[in-house]
């Protein structure tokens, strides 16, 4: 890899960058330096770092400007606060390399984060690379998170799609992958929404023609109470986004790949029932409830493929609305207990 790095001078690295690394920034001054230091220390030096300040704090801005002045590989962008999806989309629009990676600004990466992924994608001329990560809880507290696929080259994307639709086998995290930029030609993160990775990962896999899976943990996901994921999972409002992203994914698969419906039908039915219950009992959102119920009735979900309890609740949601409030109360009590053991 040293030979690749030596080809380009520092003054031309931004023009001929091999990978654009997109880093959205918002109120992360406590962790931002560690994140940026880890990206700047990459063994693959010919990278472009797109730092998108999404209306962050003065401390965020100061750190971003300091690092941008220090290293010409950093392309610094400052925008009004519009959310994580908008910041990532802005980064994609500005990316000049043919390959894209993402890093969240409260996380950090291994020194060979870019090099290992770049070697894999160029060796096989693939469209995507999937790698493992660590959940990081602090010094000497790491939890390895491998995906459930054999390592190697895939010229058939169906095993990866099947694994993605079974969420535990292949997480949707966008930062544990390397992409050809062209995959994003018609795909963007949904602005103003949570679980945005869920919204696009099946589309990226569907667009790609080939991929490489490597079982090396190259990314460190910081697990702390302030993260979007941690906050969302404790808050029942996450059920809205889970339902919306999974129901849209169901609609996409129904239109483009009906052969995958059996893999997702149980999950999407559960999400619909749970969010409908939240609308009635927790959010007092009658319009939201009616919208979920209408989608469920029109979805064409094959009820004979559902497990008994979900089939029972889903049938009541669709066919017996007067009975559903009683079911909803039971579901919410169970959900709260699961979230607060």
**Is 254 found in the same domain as 201?**
no
**Is 301 found in the same domain as 188?**
no
**Is 253 found in the same domain as 139?**
no
The CATH code of the domain that includes 113 is 3.90.550.10
pLDDT tier at 304, thresholds 50, 70, 90: very high
CA atoms of 36 and 83, how far apart (whole Å): 20
Q: Comparing C-alpha atoms, which of 27, 81, 77, 229 is closest to residue 145?
A: 229
Cβ-count burial 328-339 (b if 16+ within 10 Å, e if not): beebbeebeeee
What residues contact residue 1 under an 8 Å CB cut-off, 6+ apart? 43, 44, 115, 119
Higher pLDDT, 22 or 168: 22
**Is 160 found in the same domain as 257?**
no
**Is 91 found in the same domain as 109?**
yes
Secondary structure of residue 297 in the 3-state scheme: helix
**Is 324 found in the same domain as 198?**
no
**Is 69 found in the same domain as 34?**
yes
The CA radius of gyration of the chain, in Å to the nearest whole number, is: 21
Tokens of 61: 């801005």
* Res. 108: pLDDT tops 70: yes
* Number of domains into which the chain is organized: 2
Q: Using the 3D structure, point to which of 208, 229, 250 is the last residue of a domain.
A: 229
* Res. 81: pLDDT tops 90: yes
**Is 251 found in the same domain as 207?**
no
CA atoms of 124 and 210, how far apart (whole Å): 9
**Is 201 found in the same domain as 250?**
no
**Is 239 found in the same domain as 90?**
no
Q: Angle at Cα 120 formed by Cα 114 and Cα 126, nearest 5°?
A: 115
Record the pTM: 0.91
CA atoms of 80 and 90, how far apart (whole Å): 12
**Is 276 found in the same domain as 201?**
no
**Is 222 found in the same domain as 102?**
yes
* Res. 3: pLDDT tops 70: no
pLDDT tier at 118, thresholds 50, 70, 90: very high
Q: Which residue range forms the structural domain that includes residue 107?
A: 2-229
Q: Using the 3D structure, point to which of 177, 208, 229 is the last residue of a domain.
A: 229
């Amino acid at each position: 890899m040293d030979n690749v790095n030596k080809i380009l001078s520092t003054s031309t690295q931004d023009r001929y960058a091999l990978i654009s690394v997109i880093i959205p920034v918002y109120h992360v001054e406590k962790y931002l330096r560690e994140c940026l230091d880890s990206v700047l220390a990459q063994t693959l030096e010919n990278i472009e770092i797109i730092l998108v300040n999404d209306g962050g704090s003065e401390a965020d801005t100061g750190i971003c400007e300091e690092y941008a002045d220090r290293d010409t590989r950093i392309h610094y962008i400052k925008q009004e606060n519009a959310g994580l999806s908008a910041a990532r989309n802005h980064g994609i629009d500005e990316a000049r390399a043919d390959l894209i990676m993402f890093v969240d600004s409260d996380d950090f990466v291994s020194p060979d984060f870019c090099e290992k992924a770049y070697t894999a994608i160029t060796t096989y001329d693939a469209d995507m690379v999937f790698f493992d990560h660590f959940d990081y809880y602090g010094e000497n507290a790491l939890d390895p998170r491998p995906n459930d696929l054999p390592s190697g080259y895939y010229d058939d994307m169906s095993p990866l799609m099947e694994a993605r639709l079974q969420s535990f086998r292949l997480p949707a995290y966008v930062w544990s992958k390397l992409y050809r930029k062209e995959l994003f030609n018609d795909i963007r993160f949904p602005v103003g929404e949570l679980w945005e990775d869920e919204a696009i990962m099946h589309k990226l896999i569907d667009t790609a023609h080939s991929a490489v899976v490597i079982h090396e943990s190259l990314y460190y996901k910081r697990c702390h109470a302030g993260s979007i994921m941690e906050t969302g999972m404790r808050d029942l409002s996450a059920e809205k986004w889970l339902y919306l992203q999974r129901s849209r994914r169901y609609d996409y698969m129904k239109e483009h790949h009906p052969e995958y419906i059996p893999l997702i039908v149980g999950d999407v039915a559960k999400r619909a029932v749970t969010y409908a219950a939240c609308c009635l009992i927790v959010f007092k959102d009658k319009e939201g409830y009616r919208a979920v119920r209408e989608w469920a009735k029109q979805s064409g979900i094959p009820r004979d493929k559902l497990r008994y309890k979900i089939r029972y609740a889903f049938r009541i949601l669709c066919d017996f609305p007067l009975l559903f409030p009683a079911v909803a109360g039971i579901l919410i009590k169970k959900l709260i207990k699961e979230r607060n053991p």
